[in-house]
Structure 1
């Protein structure tokens, strides 16, 4: 007789990596799967002094659930960030604090990335600029884009460099394109 195995892998608690929108989506899904999301949407209310016994039991249960949610949030958040939210009484207060601090920075990063993409798009070698200087300028811009979340392949950077060099390098660019596979070439090889 075969025994049925009802065990399953517990989902990992999403770690906050600085990208608030992505983390918040994963964390919301995690908390919903644990049936704790209502504590983020609706903060628990403290019991009135003259609460009846049933209300006290309900409030005690809610406080325990809130402590569990706070525990999940503390596990998801880096120690340096936790130190800034330790004074928050409830899971909702922690969540709101994280949203206030980091959602805005995510929007700023997104706007900065758009500006960097625009700058990369119009980037070209200046007349009289040395090749090494142009490489450095292009790679600096590409690295800034990567730090803002852009997934940029080396082949894109290589193509940008080759297509945006001054006309006096046309023969070199043609030679490189004819003799190499640009999709596998590295920047160092270029």
Structure 2
């Protein structure tokens, strides 16, 4: 068994059941890139006219790569969606069939993206939430927007967190804004500082907020 075949069979495949095609396709593209198969899925291959012996040898290798990629696609869909691609004879053909059926139109994507932008804009921490849970909700929206191709910078996420926390975090927010360069502050560092402050609040410790850093 070749190394590429061994790697292919050892990596779990995301299963597409008809929902979240964009997420699934990103995962599959990464999988194909890890197996050095993405070019065969994306562009396919052609048979040259009057091929030389070397070209025939190369064509055989390309056909094998194509079969490997087609098999992966077949394994990565549930039975209901396998029926959509069962007639495909190449990986590119199967991939394009799914893309045509499930990829959203530009208009639909624009509407969904606008809705997600609005969700992010209106998102605020709830009174009963802890920092970890609030950040989890925010990160989910940010990741969805990024999956739709819109870049959201680290600084924008930091700023969003700082302006959307509940009132009890005002002291630590003030300290952060006065002592840190927000443009270089990472989300990880910010969340760490907020959780440290949160822990001090919960333990009723009188330690000054500056020591949360």
TM-score normalised by the chain length of structure 1: 0.50
More helix by share: 2
